[in-house]
Structure 1
Amino acid sequence: MAIVHAVVLALALVALVFLPCAVALFICADGVAARIRRRVREHRDSRALHRLDRTFSEQSISLAELDEHQPSIQQIAADLRRLDRQRFGVATRSKVWHAAVLLAYDDRLRLASRCLGVCEHLETLEGVDLEIERVRVEGELEAAGLTLRPAAPRHQDH
């Protein structure tokens, strides 16, 4: 009987010692998982960039040819207005759809910035910093004369 009590006491002490470790591991698991996902994404992106670089080095493509296929600033502005409506409308229904719309919107913001000579850092930022940069770039583009959102209709009092 004393052996059973000793084993139970030993197991209780082991549980008491490892319980805080298990709780800490559970709490930190999200951060660890996020870091692993980010590293996998970075590795996948670097492999894709390496393949793209190898493809471009094997083929001779001139920059003039690439510029011919760039949409006009009017088309970019129309795309930005459409994507802006979508990111606050239909894109709120699905996280995947929302992420796709934001990627397309940021891509068009970069194109418009390049066309109008506005400095942007949308590719290098994440999270709240990306949101702030997006708002800053929108302001710079509007200051440069690009209309991103139609004017709100005025209601007349009767």
Structure 2
Amino acid sequence: MAIEHAVVLALALVALVFLPCAVALAICADGAAGRFRGRLRERRDRRALQRLDRTLSQRPISLAALDQHQPSIQQIAADLRRLDRQRLGIATRSKVWHAAVLLAYDDRLRLASRCLGVCEHLDQLDGVDLEIERVRVEGELEAAGLSLRPGAPRHQDH
């Protein structure tokens, strides 16, 4: 009987000593697994970028040819009207959709500003300042003769 108690006591002491070590090992193993997955993801991304680099170096792309494929001001205006309807309507249902529509809308505002010679700072701003800049650029484009909202009265100086 004394031997059984001694064995149980020894097992209890071993469990008392090694249980915190096992818990710490489990916590550290989770962090190590995350770091391992991160390294694998980085390696996969690096290989994909290397393949893309090899592909692009074999077939060079002319930036001048890409720049010539700019849409017409009529197409840009139609895109702005469509994106404006979407950002005020369907894009309010999802934050992701809303962000994507705003990015596309800002891109078209930049193109229209470049075509009509309107100064814009949409790339440098965010938050409320970006919203204010959008409204300002829309007003400048409207003043330059671009109709952003069909049916809206045009401002004429008398």
Aligned to 1:133: 133
Q: How does 1:62-81 map to 2 (within 5 A)?
A: 62-63=63-64, 65-81=65-81
Alignment CA distance shift 1:60-1:93 (3 Å)? closer
What residue ranges of structure 2 are gaps of 5+ in the alignment? 1-48, 154-158
- Tell me, in whole angstroms, the C-alpha distance in 1 between the residues paired with 2:142 and 2:72: 17
CA distance in 2, matches of 1:87, 1:70: 23
Map of 2:113 onto structure 1: 113
| Counterpart residue type for residue 67 of structure 2 | D
**1:143 maps to which residue?**
143
Provide the rounded CA distance (Å) in 1 between the counterparts of 2:122 and 2:96.
19
Instruction: Tell me the residue number matched to 1:123.
Output: 123
Measured on the aligned residues, the alpha-carbon RMSD in Å equals 2.4
Q: How many angstroms apart in 1 are the aligned matches of 2:90 and 2:77?
A: 20
Aligned residue pairs: how many? Answer: 100
- Alpha carbons of structure 1 residues 117 and 152: separation in structure 2 relative to 1, 3 Å: closer
Consecutive unaligned residues of structure 1, counting only runs of 5 or more, are 1-47, 154-158
- Are 2:62 and 1:61 aligned? yes
Q: Runs of 4+ in structure 1 displaced over 4 angstroms? A: none
